[in-house]
Structure 1
């Protein structure tokens, strides 16, 4: 099969797509991408053709891919969208590209695609508004940030009606050319399993990994628990809140906070941040998107009652909009 690319009328990255296709087809040995920018200013990162091909082949092997038709609804100048184009080029697949949107199926339907990659925020919107659009897919890769428990429940409900669609949570970074590990959500896997040829280790509590066939080693800022070469991410070391000598991991406590707030009929985007405090060093604060809640003190009291004492936020902070990167990663700002 020969590579073919089609796109929606509103797709804005045509020039980059044409350059990428030309660069690949002439056999370029290296490609330049920018990092997501979720932990600082985006950096330009050079990726070898060898690494990109390795990533393509490992994804094909793990997902048992055949002759796929790819639906790309992520920015192709970032890793998730970029690698969808690279896979289509490498394997000679058809790819359909549309401008990234919180619900890409709002304007696109009946495309008969078999594979896509989306962000957790897109997943939330799709499941709430147009989940039937996923019926034709065989594999849906979700990456970029933490997947909410509500979304996991929505996947389980969807799979009970349509078991032929497999949902995967991915772990990776720009430097590794997309994911180096996957978690099969549809099979209710709890831990990430690395791609074949990838080994993982703990370095001062943080994840270190090696792509053995390529001799590439990486040290991350992700806090990790490893069991039998599988792993669970606890959050980034930069996000840890050191409060009175105790460490709070936001990624572990935020799902509980969201459950509690939903019980109070508060359903907004939020994150657990930190603020300097004379006595504690740092204290946990809850950053919530939108207008201030009238009963803030009552909300704080409920959180204090329901959460372990040292984990409950000491203050609610309201912002007009919580910032994200272009591919949906939350940007946690210090308060």
Structure 2
């Protein structure tokens, strides 16, 4: 059986299962407690949703769902026997928790570290890993540090989730030939049900084995899978089907902006302006939203995580007008020094917008 490695010591699965461990750090203690429950056959677990599109809620996940998810991931990536896994994302969220489950089911050596921006900063984690899950912020930080980059490039399979990877980040991943995949999923599907190979020019998501997909009349994705919370799970994500088992993600239906009768997907527009924003402001966070407007119904606005800077805002407005179609140009740029985030590091758009003083978007 495998082992669980922490910064200061390691435990065999047998030791964890029998309770032969003691950790004073609450994060590591919570990880080991979950692993102990899993190894002893607990059937159900309660998990909070991320809260990125609404108030977080607690849902019950079954052991069989989690096993089905781990098996589908293993089959898709052809995971070898007894791999080495790095768990560097928050295990309080479903993505991190499923990394622990995968490790235990795959008889892996599981290396657990506190979730921070640079997972490879600690010397004891400078190893070759077979399977790692990271959020975009961690990948970006590792790419910008020469020592971290070395170990990032040596990961056999890297999955990136929690938020979308920016075009700039994808370009850097491709430049360094990193074996990375963007994931699509949610708590209700026990982490990802589809992945997109970031070495490809087109971001096409391919469903995992045993996952069936389709769209409703509004072109929103539905999922039927053994790991899903419901037999037929209807999402609010607008997609275009490429094949019976693959799709291109366009954005969330509840984020769509109707400006003067023209429907705009903020996520697509964000990708189009990414280079322009980064050239002027550097690697900041930002997003596009729709503000209530008497004439247009909604007008497009850009929210940036930055102190107000009239000169930069003017330059960006000019660049946006030169490079975007008329109805896609943000009518206003709002600068806010600190966004609101969920526990899984996603931008909480609704809460951030309320910080700007708007009630309707």
Preserved contact between residue 275 and residue 284 of structure 1 (Cα < 8 Å): yes
C-alpha separation between the residues in 1 aligned to 2:126 and 2:279? 37
- SS state at 1:8 partner: coil
**Deviation string, structure 1 residues 82-102 (Cα, Å, up to 9, x no partner):** 001001111221111111112
Preserved contact between residue 11 and residue 97 of structure 1 (Cα < 8 Å): no
| Structure 1 unmatched ranges of 5 or more | 160-164
Preserved contact between residue 12 and residue 99 of structure 1 (Cα < 8 Å): no
CA distance 1:189–1:64, change in 2 (3 Å): farther
Structure 1 residue 193 displacement after superposition: 0.7
C-alpha separation between the residues in 2 aligned to 1:228 and 1:34? 32
Preserved contact between residue 144 and residue 328 of structure 1 (Cα < 8 Å): yes
**TM-score, normalized by length of structure 1?**
0.92
After superposition, the CA RMSD in angstroms is 2.0
Q: How do 1:1-335 and structure 2 match up within 5 A?
A: 2-8=1-7, 12-66=26-80, 67-108=82-123, 109-129=125-145, 130-159=148-177, 166-188=179-201, 190-203=203-216, 204-211=218-225, 216-229=231-244, 230-264=246-280, 266-295=282-311, 296-333=313-350, 334=353, 335=358
Structure 1 residue 176 displacement after superposition: 1.0
Preserved contact between residue 290 and residue 319 of structure 1 (Cα < 8 Å): yes
- SS state at 2:65 partner: helix
CA distance 1:154–1:18, change in 2 (3 Å): same
**TM-score, normalized by length of structure 2?**
0.86
| Structure 2 unmatched ranges of 5 or more | 9-23
**Deviation string, structure 1 residues 38-76 (Cα, Å, up to 9, x no partner):** 011111111111111111111111111112111111111
C-alpha separation between the residues in 1 aligned to 2:282 and 2:156? 35
Preserved contact between residue 72 and residue 208 of structure 2 (Cα < 8 Å): yes
CA distance 1:217–1:283, change in 2 (3 Å): same
Q: Tell me how many residue pairs correspond in the alignment.
A: 329
Structure 1 residue 183 displacement after superposition: 1.2
**Deviation string, structure 1 residues 265-311 (Cα, Å, up to 9, x no partner):** 65422111221111112111111111112223343232122111101
